[in-house]
Structure 1
Amino acid sequence: MLNAIIHSFPIKLLLVHVKHNQFLLFYWAILFATVDGRFGKALGLPFLFLDPIYLGKVGFWGFLIIGVALAGFSMAFNITSYILDGFRFPFLGTLPKPFSHYCLNNGLIPLAFLAFYIHRVITFQLNVELYENTRIIFGLLGLLSGYVLMLSFLFLYFTRTNRDIQKVLSSKAVRIAKNPAKNYNAFEKLRRLKKKKVKVLYYFSLNLKIHSTRRYERYYDRIAILGIFKQNQRNAIVVEMLLLVVLIGLGVFQTSPLFQIPAASSAILLMTMIVMATGALSYWLRSWVVTTVIGLFILANILTSEFNLGYEYPAYGLDYSGPKTEYSLEVVEDLASPEAIDKSKAHWIQMLENWKAKTGEVKPRMTLIAVSGGGQRSALWTVNVLKHADSVSKGNLMKETFLITGASGGLIGAAFFRDLYWEKRDLQSEEHLDEIGQELLNPLIFSLLINDIFYKAKHFESGGQVYKRERGYEFESNLSNNLEGQLDRPISAYQKAEFNGEIPALLVSPLITNDGRKLNISPQPVAFLNLGPNGESITQGVDFRALMKGKQPDSLRFLTALRMSATFPYVTPTITLPTDPPIQIADAGISDNYGVVDALVFVNVFKEWILENTSEVVLLTIRDSDKNEALGPVESKNFLERALSPIRSAYQSWDKVQTIKNDQFFELTKAGMGNHLRRLEFEYTNADDASDRASLSWRLTEIEKQNILNAIHQKKNQKVLYRYSKAVSIQ
């Protein structure tokens, strides 16, 4: 029996994959690791599979689409391995419906994954999301329905188009092919096939019974068997091409929410295309595939470098036509000249006077809000903290706030809250938390798959300029839709309101990757941010509006400015400005993830006015992490973990390095301000289990949202809220 099992078709296929098709097993390993939570948990990747959202809900239709995508990936796995390895099993060509037999016996890995996936979905939704049993059952019915429907469609195609041995033998083409003089190549292939064939004794038939491979051992024409494989392989490649056309065709309808499929299914489709492309190249190029791929990579590298090929993602609203703006050290120093700094200082002094007059107090309290990055997690946390702070201040938070700084998701949340205040919306309404918590990942990943990888056919207009639609636009458009049109303005729309003190000023400070300086984006002149503590000019940043003069900087879309500050690698694209040389913009969190530095630079520059005209300055910092995280035990590491440890440790410590430097800067500033400056810090943390923190993503599960919202009730945050309420009651 052991011999029969070892030489059974399913086991032999599995061994062939291990020996010849490691790249196919690699994609399955990624799926297993992701669903199990061992890969991408910090980024929320497992939740995209375990709790898929479609049309704003988790349920039957979202799982059905994932089932369709998963069946397509399973079939791509079968097709690719059949194309590459079907010839190793000559007995297969003597069976009716050889491809169907191959898929059935090749189902160990796909079926194992499907069972494992169902188990993880049930466990997650039952124990973590706490869904009702009926809701879980409907989701699983959707998954299985999509899986079965897709497989049925594909098998129907192969059943109707693939020929078995009887049809091939009866065809005129095969009778002509029996002439050895004309078929030297065919006989040569048969000779190689005989050397590479794999010994198989038993297989599963389509009626799910076990049969011996000798059952169909007759003296069939071996060239006819070869013809079976060639014809089946051509059919499989046709299916691959059709799937590719369908995927590209979806791009035509990507604006419709119906076609914005769950992010997990988009990821599966991407892997499906990679598997199909790899299989096709391997089939056509055989042993030359690795050499050819390396050669194509080198050629593409040379062409993109020499001819400057490739798409550069623009900042919407800017004018990219005509001569580019010079970007050099001389230009940067000129933008930070004493004259430019003095002019911007005078402008902001007038803003401060206007703000003071709006408060109606002789010496008002000045609040500065600094928020941290962290994707949607930070955006929701920021809005929730500001909501509670505004409540204890009896609705005076935004009135007392003069400046908002920060990075990434936190700045998006703060900007949203500021817009709500500006439009006199109910700041305590729970619906605003629902709006900022709506997912953004489905259209983003779908656009990456359909639009950015293949082609960018559609266009849109912004600031009088025309741009191609890509995933950056999809991110901004869906964020605007989620927030009911909030933030969808040019930056110039905020200029008057900020200047008159009607709303707090907000500074966006992403990083210029070329030289590490900040790109300071504001509707106001901000050259004063280059003023050092001793009054000297230091070129630590660049005034965006001054640099882009002549490229209509005031038309920059505010959503684009916020996205520039929240450039998550590979998810949201890196923006390139129309300068010479081109400068690229990265996430503000690389330079200062907490916005503290910019807020303290402002305090130092305007210290004299602040001391004379305000009762105190409150620096309200909103972090999406625990500031003083407890040190855990040193865990044992395997060889790979030890090899990656230096890089991983440097990356993980960067957040702590910024925190320490910010604290040092704060203490130096406080030394010159005395008790006039104090700091209140809110921290998103989970006192029960730090590992259960919400993921760093643009899509949150319901349990993650509740985790974030409940963090305000943690003891340390309640103490900060109480201290703030006491401070505002004294005024």
Structure 2
Amino acid sequence: MVDLLQNILRSFSVQLLLLHLRSNFLLLVVWALLLLMMSGLVGPQLGLQYLFLDPEYLNRTDFWSFLIVGIAYGFFAMTWNLSTYLLIGGYFNFLASLSRPFFKFCINNALLPLGVLFFYFGLLVRFFRLDTDSWILLESLSGLALGVVISLFLYALYFNLTNRDISYYRPRHRERPPNMGPGEGTASAQGHRPYRAQALAPVLTRLYDNPYRVRTYLNEGLKTRLVRSVAHYESSVLQGIFRQNHLNAILLQVITALLLAGLGLLIDRPLFQIPAGASFLVMLSLVIAFIGAVSYWFSEWRVTLLLLSLVAINVLTSAPWFQLGNQAYGLDYNLTAAYSEDRLQGLYGSPKLAEDIAATTAILENWKAKQNEERPPLVIVCASGGGLTAALWATHIAQTIEGCSDGAFLHHTALMTGASGGQIGLAYLREAYLSDPNFRENDVFRLDRISRDLLNPVAFSIVSNDVFLPLARVTVGGKSYRRDRAYGFERELAINTDHTLDKAIWTYREPERTARIPLLFVTPSIVDDGRRMVISPQGVTYMTASEAATRGNLALMPDMVDFRWLLAGQDADSLRFITALRMNATYPYVLPLVRLPTTPVIRLMDAGYRDNYGITSAVRFVSVFRDWILENTSGVHIVQISAFREREPEPEAADNRGVVSSLFRPVGVAGNILSVQILDQEVLLGQLAATLGPENFHLYRFNYQPAADDPLRTSVSFHLTEQERRQVLRASQDPAVQVEMDRLVRMLQ
């Protein structure tokens, strides 16, 4: 038994794994990250696990989508093999004496890739077991396995044709090395000399010949073979074999990088928009290749140089001539607008403020003129952020209420606000209400379109376009802008919505002015000072501060900025509406922050950073027009459509935090920004109810919240699985939702 354990411990496969654990920590971190993403331990609310469990290609999850993921996984595993072969292959000199040394290295280095692959298989079995269609499981496993095989076959073919091994030096090919030993061939052969070297001492032989005392290795037939000494070979020959193999590995990585850059030029073609999970695998492969290359060339300096590389990249990309910040499509960046506290406060008491209030009052009058009642109910719809889940939920609930009320819901709606996915859903529904002659018949069509994947082009653009083609340009509306993953997101959203949202914001001015459609405020957050930007085709300077501040009663700072007023000289009216929606949904890292043409530069990100539920904007609007509302309507009815709002904190049996984790506990509330927003907005709603009176204020809440014990907890992502779609749509049958819906419909009738 002891000998068996010793043989296992001294096998090449086990020694490679132990050497990785000891020497290749940075590379193992990449594997750990992949495992955490697959299992849902990292980013479960973002749905990172579904990128691997439910990859989507050409709007379908099937054999082909898993085939592409399998090819990407094979590419990832082979990049791992290439990098580790560069780093540690030279420690095992016996490899150079074998035929196809890199192939044998890969076989013995397969414990980690195979372990992760089988773990992936297990996750798929568990995931699809929840689905009634077992054929999908068969498709996924077969596609994934075949993809891995195809990838490995192509790599094996390349190295079999290019790599040199010890057989290259045998006499039938060329002269043997000078110390192959006497008695082989003729003494007169050119370069031959008798073997005169003395045998090395046993200790030195072990240190040079087999420093890790490997006893056995696996060959191509997965059979165990004994490791033999190579001390009799000329060291330059062994080094030459490794050097030539290394050169081929580096060449292949360079070719792969060029291929990815080429694919970046074809990113607009759906055929080349590979599943997001495959894109992540390719990206992680690039990380492994980069770490491996730096470690290979600079050895002990690798950590220092990796850190210095990050600093150098940051310095380079911050140079004025290397502008990598994303731009808002439609704006003119040749001139900049002044952004200062004095300019913002200059609106207080200005004629512009009075003009905007009068113009919006006229819009409300037009809205009232279209109603059948003398004092109609004024409906405001607020939709929360939450990726495609929120978009699907907002669209589903709004058009269900519209159908149940026989068209009265949108007819009574005066304003729509929100964030991220929910706002995208409302915007798509509003556009269909304006332009689709078959609006009432296309409910199912819109649900399908609004829930289609948006993540594939974003993920693939990061890997191909953003990394290899950072200076690529694109023309939008006659103006040139830098192309990045934001353009891919907008293009995919435009395709999913039949290009109905791909228009300048000024095109909505007249429909809103005549009350054909509700007002819609898009409110992304300003990263640099925490204010909110209000984007509307109307003048909305009255939204920039509280009523007391705009009247001059209190010296309060403005907390919002009117986009069209600020950037009037930068062609603000030409901003693409789909760009405004994208800025409103700019989740950090997934989409790039938007740089505006201002001095100093300000950047925009997701509206959820300040108001994920649209309540703050709604309360501000009602406060400004309170007198008109009380005089002309029967009251305000706020319809709050939200996703993931009612999250319960996970209880702790005891405070088991250690010293290190306790250091971060005081700042935990900073990471719970949505709960803080909810509590603050509860106060705002209470104050508004007190101001208007209970008879003039009504609140209806439609929240989507998956069950805590649901194994398919819906994620906040721009990708939805088919199971998640069904789960969201079925949630409208929840008794609590039905009660609220009945109450709202009765009010509208």
TM-score by length of 1: 0.93
Instruction: Work out whether residues 168 and 227 of structure 1, in 8 Å CA contact, stay in contact via their aligned partners in 2.
Output: no
Matched, 1:139 2:153: no
Q: 1:375 to 1:219 in 2, by over 3 A?
A: same
Instruction: Work out whether residues 324 and 470 of structure 2, in 8 Å CA contact, stay in contact via their aligned partners in 1.
Output: no
The residue type equivalent to 1:536 in the other structure is R
Q: 1:542 to 1:686 in 2, by over 3 A?
A: same
The residue type equivalent to 1:253 in the other structure is L
- SS of the equivalent of 2:378 reads strand
Alignment counterpart, residue 551 of structure 2, candidates 532, 536, 552 = 536
In 2, Cα distance between equivalents of 1:460 and 1:166: 53
In 1, Cα distance between equivalents of 2:124 and 2:266: 30
Alignment counterpart, residue 705 of structure 2, candidates 685, 691, 707 = 685
Q: 1:311 to 1:630 in 2, by over 3 A?
A: closer
More deviation, 18-27/418-427 = 418-427
Instruction: Work out whether residues 66 and 265 of structure 1, in 8 Å CA contact, stay in contact via their aligned partners in 2.
Output: yes
Matched, 1:221 2:222: no
In 1, Cα distance between equivalents of 2:448 and 2:666: 37
In 2, Cα distance between equivalents of 1:448 and 1:295: 22
Q: 1:648 to 1:153 in 2, by over 3 A?
A: farther
More deviation, 147-156/458-467 = 458-467
Name the structure 2 match of 1:488.
Answer: 502
Matched, 1:584 2:603: yes
Alignment counterpart, residue 260 of structure 1, candidates 260, 273, 276 = 273
Instruction: Work out whether residues 595 and 604 of structure 2, in 8 Å CA contact, stay in contact via their aligned partners in 1.
Output: yes
Name the structure 1 match of 2:532.
Answer: 518
Name the structure 1 match of 2:111.
Answer: 108
Alignment counterpart, residue 449 of structure 2, candidates 435, 439, 442 = 435
How far did residue 594 of structure 1 move?
A: 0.8
In 2, Cα distance between equivalents of 1:155 and 1:638: 49
More deviation, 571-580/654-663 = 654-663
- SS of the equivalent of 1:381 reads helix
Alignment counterpart, residue 619 of structure 1, candidates 620, 635, 638 = 638
Instruction: Work out whether residues 317 and 462 of structure 1, in 8 Å CA contact, stay in contact via their aligned partners in 2.
Output: yes
- SS of the equivalent of 1:370 reads strand
Q: 1:518 to 1:74 in 2, by over 3 A?
A: same
How far did residue 292 of structure 1 move?
A: 2.5
Q: Deviations over 1:388-414 (max 9, x none)?
A: 211222111111000111111111011
Instruction: Work out whether residues 454 and 489 of structure 2, in 8 Å CA contact, stay in contact via their aligned partners in 1.
Output: yes
Name the structure 1 match of 2:84.
Answer: 81
Name the structure 2 match of 1:235.
Answer: 248
Name the structure 1 match of 2:285.
Answer: 272
Q: 1:326 to 1:195 in 2, by over 3 A?
A: farther
Matched, 1:342 2:342: no
- SS of the equivalent of 2:718 reads coil
Q: Deviations over 1:199-227 (max 9, x none)?
A: 1011111122111112x657222321121
The residue type equivalent to 1:343 in the other structure is E
Alignment counterpart, residue 610 of structure 1, candidates 629, 651, 659 = 629
- SS of the equivalent of 2:641 reads strand
Alignment counterpart, residue 476 of structure 1, candidates 486, 490, 512 = 490
The residue type equivalent to 2:169 in the other structure is V
In 2, Cα distance between equivalents of 1:203 and 1:640: 45
In 2, Cα distance between equivalents of 1:389 and 1:279: 57
Name the structure 2 match of 1:676.
Answer: 696
- SS of the equivalent of 2:212 reads coil
Name the structure 1 match of 2:31.
Answer: 28
The residue type equivalent to 2:633 in the other structure is T
In 2, Cα distance between equivalents of 1:201 and 1:173: 27
Q: Deviations over 1:642-662 (max 9, x none)?
A: 257527732453222211111
In 1, Cα distance between equivalents of 2:649 and 2:318: 47
Instruction: Work out whether residues 431 and 500 of structure 2, in 8 Å CA contact, stay in contact via their aligned partners in 1.
Output: yes
Q: Which runs of 5+ in 2 are unaligned?
A: 179-189, 194-203
How far did residue 58 of structure 1 move?
A: 0.8
How far did residue 332 of structure 1 move?
A: 1.3
Matched, 1:657 2:676: yes
In 2, Cα distance between equivalents of 1:688 and 1:293: 41
Instruction: Work out whether residues 168 and 228 of structure 1, in 8 Å CA contact, stay in contact via their aligned partners in 2.
Output: no
Q: 1:640 to 1:576 in 2, by over 3 A?
A: farther
Instruction: Work out whether residues 354 and 501 of structure 1, in 8 Å CA contact, stay in contact via their aligned partners in 2.
Output: yes
How far did residue 531 of structure 1 move?
A: 4.5
Instruction: Work out whether residues 530 and 541 of structure 1, in 8 Å CA contact, stay in contact via their aligned partners in 2.
Output: yes
* Residue pairs, 1:426-465, within 5 angstroms: 426-427=439-440, 429-456=443-470, 458-465=472-479
Name the structure 2 match of 1:168.
Answer: 169
Alignment counterpart, residue 125 of structure 1, candidates 102, 125, 128 = 128
The residue type equivalent to 1:611 in the other structure is L
Matched, 1:357 2:360: no
Name the structure 2 match of 1:185.
Answer: none
Q: Deviations over 1:362-382 (max 9, x none)?
A: 221110111111111111110
In 1, Cα distance between equivalents of 2:71 and 2:593: 32
Q: Which runs of 5+ in 1 are unaligned?
A: 180-189
The residue type equivalent to 1:14 in the other structure is L
- SS of the equivalent of 1:359 reads coil
- SS of the equivalent of 1:571 reads coil
Matched, 1:320 2:339: no
In 2, Cα distance between equivalents of 1:447 and 1:295: 26
- SS of the equivalent of 2:7 reads helix
Name the structure 2 match of 1:715.
Answer: 735
In 2, Cα distance between equivalents of 1:621 and 1:134: 40
In 1, Cα distance between equivalents of 2:72 and 2:20: 22
TM-score by length of 2: 0.91
Q: 1:32 to 1:641 in 2, by over 3 A?
A: farther
In 2, Cα distance between equivalents of 1:712 and 1:126: 25
Q: Deviations over 1:206-249 (max 9, x none)?
A: 122111112x6572223211211111111111111111111111
Q: 1:197 to 1:687 in 2, by over 3 A?
A: closer
Q: 1:652 to 1:634 in 2, by over 3 A?
A: farther
Name the structure 1 match of 2:181.
Answer: none
In 2, Cα distance between equivalents of 1:77 and 1:497: 57
Q: 1:356 to 1:192 in 2, by over 3 A?
A: farther
- SS of the equivalent of 2:515 reads coil
Q: 1:300 to 1:58 in 2, by over 3 A?
A: closer
Instruction: Work out whether residues 389 and 717 of structure 2, in 8 Å CA contact, stay in contact via their aligned partners in 1.
Output: yes
Aligned-pair Cα RMSD in Å: 2.4
How far did residue 488 of structure 1 move?
A: 1.1
Q: Deviations over 1:54-96 (max 9, x none)?
A: 1111111111111111111111111111111011111111111
Instruction: Work out whether residues 317 and 324 of structure 2, in 8 Å CA contact, stay in contact via their aligned partners in 1.
Output: no
Q: 1:105 to 1:630 in 2, by over 3 A?
A: closer
More deviation, 216-225/549-558 = 216-225
Name the structure 2 match of 1:250.
Answer: 263
The residue type equivalent to 2:723 in the other structure is I
The residue type equivalent to 1:162 in the other structure is N
In 2, Cα distance between equivalents of 1:135 and 1:536: 63
Q: 1:576 to 1:64 in 2, by over 3 A?
A: same
In 1, Cα distance between equivalents of 2:535 and 2:653: 43
How far did residue 335 of structure 1 move?
A: 3.7
How far did residue 542 of structure 1 move?
A: 1.1
- SS of the equivalent of 1:29 reads helix
In 2, Cα distance between equivalents of 1:305 and 1:238: 31
